[in-house]
Amino acid sequence: MTVKQAQEQISSIEFTYWLAYLSEYCLDQEGWEQTAMVCSVTANVQGAKTTPQDFLPVRRTEKKKEQSPEEMMAVMEMMFLGRND
């Protein structure tokens, strides 16, 4: 299925949701492992002591702090009204 076909069959909001989901939860681990292996071999040839795991992405585990309504309003004012107080 192409992007155009997907956009014809689902709403923009649902399409955006799926893109976000895929980028967060569907990491192509096999592709990352192959890239990590090449990076590790390249680094080791140059004298470094690395393993492929050194080049794999690490997921952050800390929770993001939620913005207060006041912080949200300040960001919106900066974006749309040009205020920066």
pLDDT in tens, 24-77: 666 565 667 888 889 999 999 999 999 988 888 776 666 778 888 898 888 888
Task: Tell me whether residue 64 is in a domain.
Answer: no
- Total of domains in the chain: 1
- The pTM assigned to this predicted structure is 0.39
Domain range holding 27?
Answer: 1-56
Report the pLDDT value the prediction gives residue 85, as an integer from 0 to 100.
54
Determine, yes or no, domain membership for 4.
Answer: yes
Give the Cα separation of 85 and 79 in Å (integer): 12
Tokens 């920066």 appear where? 84
Residue 70 lies in a domain: no
CB atoms within 10 A of CB 36: 19
Half-sphere exposure of 48 (CA within 13 A, CB side): 12
From residue 57, give the alpha-carbon distance in Å to each of 29, 38, 53, 60, 74: 10, 15, 9, 9, 33
- Considering the domain boundaries, does residue 14 fall inside one? yes
Q: What is the CA radius of gyration of the chain?
A: 21
pLDDT of residue 60: 61
What integer pLDDT is reported at residue 72 of this predicted model? 86
